[in-house]
Amino acid sequence: MPQPLIELGGDAELPTLHLALANGFVPQTYLPLLRHFTSAYHALCLPPRALWGDEPPPPLTPQRNWSELTDDLLAGIADYGLRDVLAFGHSFGGIATLLAALREPQHFRAIVLLDPTILGRKPTQMMEAAQREGRIDEFPLVQAAQRRRSLFDSVEEAYERFRGRSLFAQWSDEAVRLYAEYGTTAQADGTRTLTWPPEWEAYYFSTLYTPIWEQLPKLKNLPVPMLIINGGESDTYVPDTAAEVRQLLPDITHKTISGHGHLFPQSAPDATAQAIQSWLDEVLS
């Protein structure tokens, strides 16, 4: 199936804003954030292969990692003729965006990484060893994805299920409803299944990009302005790691959304938009 391009608002004549999303989520859950920008940008998403159709994930090998996301992102940018892109990348979408900018910076106008999946050095080494030794199924995130419930009777049942989960405790009702509506897909019998298949979610957790600490120093020479925002309560890009990255990359702008975790683009869209816009006003003026 050809790579789709998902429209998320804004006039087609406006400059391009591209969203690279987090594993397991759908782009519509970012609408409360993106609405702050669609008067000035045409918001788009080139989604990962999990959202391309019914193709199953490929077999796991130690060589597979998120550079595949970068390959697809750059191919989509070329195929759709996107230029001067303001790129937002959340979670593993942040890593795909970071690697794309290092590889082909000419496509980008500015880059915003939202709690990118940069683990500490020791956890990264543990993940790399597990990938190499074929033990990646032991990791809790992989196991949780493999067990994830994927079938619901209706959008309303999905909404009630998601609304009651601690993962979504800080999300607005609107954001949870967007996830229930777009994060599930209608079946012929009227039931709903997860739009992002759990087997793809598990695959992406299994193929974490472990050479990230080799790539980060290269950002010192990136000819594109970059902002990195971390969630003050994130369990992914944790505060100690964020502090180490700040020290490593002092010329990049770093901000924090206090009181929110890894999913702050959904749980704190207004504060996130304000942090981004104030930075854009400085670097693009």
Rounded to an integer, what distance in angstroms lies between the CA atom of residue 105 and that of residue 83? 11
Q: What are phi and psi of 38, to 5 degrees?
A: -80, -5
Residue 147 lies in a domain: no
Q: What is the CATH number of the domain that holds 43?
A: 3.40.50.1820
How many structural domains does the chain have?
1
0.85 exceeded by pTM: yes
- One pLDDT digit (tens) per residue for the chain, 285 residues: 789 999 999 999 999 999 999 999 999 999 999 999 999 999 999 999 999 998 899 998 888 999 999 999 999 999 999 999 999 999 999 999 999 999 999 999 999 999 999 999 999 999 999 999 999 988 999 999 999 999 999 999 999 999 999 999 999 999 999 999 999 999 999 999 999 999 999 999 999 999 999 999 999 999 999 999 999 999 999 999 999 999 999 999 999 999 999 999 999 999 999 999 999 999 998
Q: 254 lies in a domain?
A: yes
Q: Is residue 199 part of a domain?
A: no
Burial pattern 210-222, b for ≥16 Cβ within 10 A else e, equals bebbeebeebeeb
Domain extent, residue 228, equals 6-122+209-283
Residue 238 forms part of a structural domain: yes
Residue 83 lies in a domain: yes
The secondary element (H helix, E strand) that includes residue 6 is strand 6-7
Max alpha carbon distance in the chain (Å)? 55
Examine residue 202 and state whether it is found in any structural domain, yes or no.
Answer: no
Q: Shortest CA distance to 42 belongs to which of 20, 8, 6, 10?
A: 10
pLDDT of residue 97: 99
Residue at 69 is within a domain: yes
170 inside domain: no
